[in-house]
Amino acid sequence: MNSKKISLFIILFFVYNPFHFVYAQGWQKLTTTGLVTPRTNASAVYIPSQNKMFVFGGKTSLGHTNELWCLNLNINSWSIVTSKSAKVPLARYTHVAMYDSLLNRILIWSGEGSSLYNDVWAFNLKDSTWNELFLNGNVTGAPLKRYGDAATFDQKNRNIISFAGFTTAGRFDDTWSFDVDELHWTDKTNSIFPLKRCLTSSCFARDRREMIVFGGQSTGNLNDIWKLNVDTYNWTNITPTVSPSARHFASMSYCGNENVVVFGGNSLNQGNNAGALNELWNYSLNTQQWDTLPQFGKKPSARFGCTSVYIPSQDKIVVFGGQGLSSLNSETWVYTGVNSVTNGILMNEANDMDFNCYPNPVNTILNIHTNSTPIAPYQATIVDVMGRKLMHVTLTGQKNSIDLSTLENGFYTIIIETGTKKISKRLIKTE
């Protein structure tokens, strides 16, 4: 066996050893102290220097709120943050919160409460005071009041970037930039942009200088995914052939290494809790493909409108709250090992015959769809974590299916070969 194969098998065994997965990867429900109120459609930011997550606003069983809560992740304890300001943001939900690390403050923009809002606020974490950066009101040269928009903060250019949302004039598809130092808005809407929508999910791939937007609602639920270059404000549709079902109110986090993770959401109309989901998907900005992430053991129940933040130093996502099938949640869940799962399989050389495998995790039938039709029959091989070849199948055309019912539950690699070309992907077999 050559050195390349030995290295590949060692990496595969480490990443996919089931005992390693149980203790180092996957979901864990945190046992927390502090009686944080169950809520949905709040906003959250993570403060790395303090290892704390701050959650603002949201809708509780008593209505919308303007509470600011802090989860100290060093001791897993919730506490309410008291403001020293006489004037504070009005209660709201479906708004956006962002972290301005340069000035150590939390930024709040948009939302819905007793009405719609387009104000911008900053909470100074040093002295616990609020400062209103932009007054609420529909005025010329600023975006209309709105909720459910996609937004992020670009630390480099010092601006809040906002797209779409439900406004006082209905759903919009505009793109705006707010300079948090000069305190003014600029319309950045280009000729190509996503369909008008609200209740969408977004995150900022800072290393790529891109805001990523997924799904939401237009006349119905959506499942397209787009990227916005935050320097040129050019939009690109990056929706692949195989995508998650259409949904709104999903949580979304950028986890570095080209990985965008989406959890939950609502697949039915707004207000119909029966559409709640607990799927966990990863979108690779590198391969532009969706794939489900493994959720062995206990996992969060179906929900939508939950918040999520990513902690790079610990490679984990923290998920809080949300609306379930029958009630609001105040649970805090952690998914650890995002990048070791998504990047565990070594990808071979790039080629023109990339493929999707779904569903994944798979129970019985695995569907294989190539992006282009191979000229001749090609081969699919299933390999276990020890490198043993368990199945070898000849495929033709773009669409094929393989029966995996004889395989035991666990981790595998599927390798597709077409003569001189080879590409591999991780595969999970479950009940």
Distance CA 255, CA 22 (A): 21
* Fold type of domain 345-429: Immunoglobulin-like (2.60.40)
Half-sphere exposure of 108 (CA within 13 A, CB side): 32
Query: Nearest to residue 247, comparing CAs of 225, 275, 264, 267?
Result: 267
Domain coordinates of the chain in residue numbers?
27-342, 345-429
200 alpha-carbon distance from chain centroid:
11
Confidence (pTM): 0.79
CATH architecture of 27-342: 6 Propeller (2.120)
Q: Token pair for residue 24?
A: 């180092």
pLDDT tens digit sequence for 83-96: 999 999 999 999 99
Q: Token pair for residue 128?
A: 């616990």
Residues ≥6 apart with Cβ < 8 Å to 58: 39, 40, 41, 42, 43, 64, 65, 93, 321
Distance CA 33, CA 19 (A): 29
Distance CA 270, CA 197 (A): 13
Identify the H or E element spanning 376.
Answer: none
pLDDT tens digit sequence for 135-160: 999 999 999 999 999 999 999 999 99
Spell out the per-residue pLDDT of the chain, length 431, in tens.
Answer: 444 443 333 333 333 333 333 334 689 999 999 999 999 999 999 999 999 999 999 999 999 999 999 999 999 999 999 999 999 999 999 999 999 999 999 999 999 999 999 999 999 999 999 999 999 999 999 999 999 999 999 999 999 999 999 999 999 999 999 999 999 999 999 999 999 999 999 999 999 999 999 999 999 999 999 999 999 999 999 999 889 999 999 999 999 989 999 999 999 999 999 999 999 999 999 999 998 887 767 899 999 999 999 999 999 999 999 999 999 999 999 999 888 666 543 333 334 557 788 888 888 999 988 877 777 788 899 988 667 889 999 988 888 999 999 998 888 888 888 776 778 888 888 86
